[in-house]
Amino acid sequence: MPNLTRRSFGLLVGAGATSLALPYYARAQGKPKVVVIGGGAGGATAARYMAKDAGEDLDVTLIEANPAYSTCFFSNLYLGGFRDFDSITHGYDTLSSNYGITVVNGMADAVDRDAKMVVMADGSKVPYDRLVVSPGIDLIYDSVPGYSEEAAEIMPHSWKAGPQTQLLKAKLDAIENGQQIVMVAPPNQYRCPPGPYERVSMMAHILKSKGLNDSKIVIIDPKPKFSKQALFQEGWDKHYPGMIEWYGPDVHGGIVKVDASTGEVETDLDTFQGDLVNVIPAQKAGMIASKAALTNDSGFCAIDPASMRSKEDDSIFIIGDACIAGDMPKSGFSANSQAKVAAMTIRGDLTGSRVFPAKYSNTCWSLIETNDGVKVGAQYAPTDEKIASTSKFISQTGEDAGLRQATYEESIGWYKGITTDMFGA
């Protein structure tokens, strides 16, 4: 779609000519409408940037199912006892009061793309000129045979922060010496590549700090390798010797099924028994994306790498975990970065503001043990095919303790920074 000025956009939607004859308040109601579905790292950032930068020129609505948002990032630090749950939970009041965003607390059920309306679960309709879809992930429970939404009450996934995270924390804190934890790690593509392994580190931290030295954590992984593997395995050997066992598919031979009633994880090699079993199944874009027919066979949404615009619909942008972002991992940092490109492009579409070349970045910090933080990150730029990495870095094995502590402290600064960038101040 070519860049539109505000006026030409008005003419396109057939409102421009008449709106000029209307009194001010009526014209104000006719200003371009942007609706954002999902108030996480992608959606909250996109809404805030559009409202902040376009001022009175755009009408921004944010639809979010939950009254407050608990960040998946840093939820492992809650499991490890480094943060309390309140500190990773954020409300939407500032976005509403300081930025003039209309926050709708409800579930988006469908998108009528022809009429440009979001249909809410209660039947109400929210019209848009541009729509940002940022629903995060949905879990494919049956990707692990025997697993289900009901089984998740016993074998929590805790891959969406909230009650599931608190359930896992309660079960972790109840582990007694000699009891075993089993994690079924997810296959690619999934939210937060280092997340499962940081989680295991935090579980081990709890076991170690409580002196539960006869307990073990077993990871059954469908992947032959994982993010920051050398860093995690070095850290596990150093801090938690003999406590963590990781089995790739060449060892366990495949996951046959899980059984919530017995706590068993059956593989081709053996059956593992867990007093706590954390099953992280395969993932796909949040349901609204597939209901709106924005997903492809991968379960995620194809986008234009230069703008985050849907390949299926010029009026829709998909950001965060739900989109296919090329070399970018599914992370809160990535979603926040993509949101800024989408917000800039939408403002260009609707208000004629300047549009600059898209650039993206990501950094993922992980905590292995107290004051032992590591990170991985990259810069990205759009090519014709995908969002491609242009430069990258990763923490090194054998780094000194001072650098690791600085990395951890930096991650705390980042958390404060990104949550302020998402929810405003």
Partner 1 sequence: MDQKQDKAERPYADFPTLRNAAWARARKWIAGATFLLTVPAMASDGDPIKGEKLFKACKACHQVGANARNGVGPHLDGLFERPAGTLEGFKYSSAMKKLGSDGMVWNEFSLDLYLEKPREYVPGTRMSYRGMPDRQDRTHIIAYLRELSKAEPASEPEPETVTPEMGAVAMQIDGDMAYGEYLSSECVTCHQVSGRADGIPSIIGWPKKPFIRALFEYKTNVRSHQVMQNMTVNLGNEEIAALAAYFGSIDPQ
Q: Which is nearer to partner 1, 54 or 155 (CB)?
A: 54
Residue 383: C-alpha distances to residues 296, 359, 388, 422 (Å): 20, 11, 6, 27
To partner 1, the closest distance from the beta carbon of 39 in angstroms equals: 17
**For partner 1, which residue of 109, 264, 327, 421 counts as binding (CB under 8 A)?**
421
To partner 1, the closest distance from the beta carbon of 194 in angstroms equals: 15
Residue 24 touching partner 1 (CB under 8 A) = no
To partner 1, the closest distance from the beta carbon of 391 in angstroms equals: 5
To partner 1, the closest distance from the beta carbon of 44 in angstroms equals: 13
> By CB under 8 A, which span of 153-161, 240-248, 305-313, 407-415 interacts with partner 1?
407-415
Q: Which is nearer to partner 1, 220 or 374 (CB)?
A: 374
To partner 1, the closest distance from the beta carbon of 409 in angstroms equals: 5
To partner 1, the closest distance from the beta carbon of 396 in angstroms equals: 9
Residue 400 touching partner 1 (CB under 8 A) = no
> By CB under 8 A, which span of 8-16, 131-139, 157-165, 417-425 interacts with partner 1?
417-425
The length of the chain, given as a count of residues:
425
**For partner 1, which residue of 340, 367, 369, 387 counts as binding (CB under 8 A)?**
340
**Residue 51 burial by Cβ neighbours in a 10 Å radius (0-12, 13-18, 19+):** buried
**For partner 1, which residue of 202, 289, 323, 378 counts as binding (CB under 8 A)?**
378
To partner 1, the closest distance from the beta carbon of 375 in angstroms equals: 7
User: In the window 93-112, what residues touch partner 1 (CB under 8 A)?
Assistant: none
**For partner 1, which residue of 31, 186, 395, 404 counts as binding (CB under 8 A)?**
395
**For partner 1, which residue of 205, 228, 375, 404 counts as binding (CB under 8 A)?**
375
To partner 1, the closest distance from the beta carbon of 421 in angstroms equals: 6
Residue 211 touching partner 1 (CB under 8 A) = no
> Which has the closest alpha carbon to 189: 252, 146, 152, 137?
137
Residue 354 touching partner 1 (CB under 8 A) = yes
> By CB under 8 A, which span of 71-79, 276-284, 302-310, 413-421 interacts with partner 1?
413-421
3-state helix/strand/coil string of the chain: CCCCCHHHHHHHCCCHHHHCCCCHHHHHHCCCEEEEECCCCCHHHHHHHHHHHHHHHCEEEEEECCCEEECCCCHHHHHCCCCCHHHHEEECHHHHHHHCCEEEECCEEEEECCCCEEEECCCCEEECCEEEECCCEEEEHHHCCCCCCCHHHCCCCCCCCCHHHHHHHHHHHCCCCCCEEEEECCCCCCECCCHHHHHHHHHHHHHHHCCCCCCEEEEECCCCCCCCHHHHHHHHHHHCCCCEEEECHHHHCCEEEEECCCCEEEECCCEEECCEEEECCEEEECHHHHHCCCECCCCCEEECCCCCEECCCCCEEECHHHEECCCCCECHHHHHHHHHHHHHHHHHHHHCCCCCCCCEEEEEEEEEECCEEEEEEEEEEECCCCEEEEEEEECCCCCCHHHHHHHHHHHHHHHHHHHHHHHCC
Residue 383 touching partner 1 (CB under 8 A) = no
Residue 377 touching partner 1 (CB under 8 A) = yes
Number of residues that bind partner 1 (CB under 8 A): 34
Residue 245 touching partner 1 (CB under 8 A) = no
Dist CA 298 CA 309 (whole Å): 18
**For partner 1, which residue of 27, 113, 239, 359 counts as binding (CB under 8 A)?**
359
To partner 1, the closest distance from the beta carbon of 354 in angstroms equals: 6
Dist CA 266 CA 220 (whole Å): 10
User: In the window 25-54, what residues touch partner 1 (CB under 8 A)?
Assistant: 49, 53
> By CB under 8 A, which span of 136-144, 222-230, 238-246, 333-341 interacts with partner 1?
333-341
**For partner 1, which residue of 65, 68, 140, 381 counts as binding (CB under 8 A)?**
381
Burial 153-179 (b: 16+ CB within 10 A, else e): ebbbbbbbbbebbbbbbebbeebeeeb
Q: Where does this chain bind partner 1 (CB under 8 A)? A: 49, 53, 333, 336-337, 340, 344, 354, 356, 359, 361, 363, 375, 377-379, 381, 390-395, 409-410, 412-414, 416-418, 420-421, 425
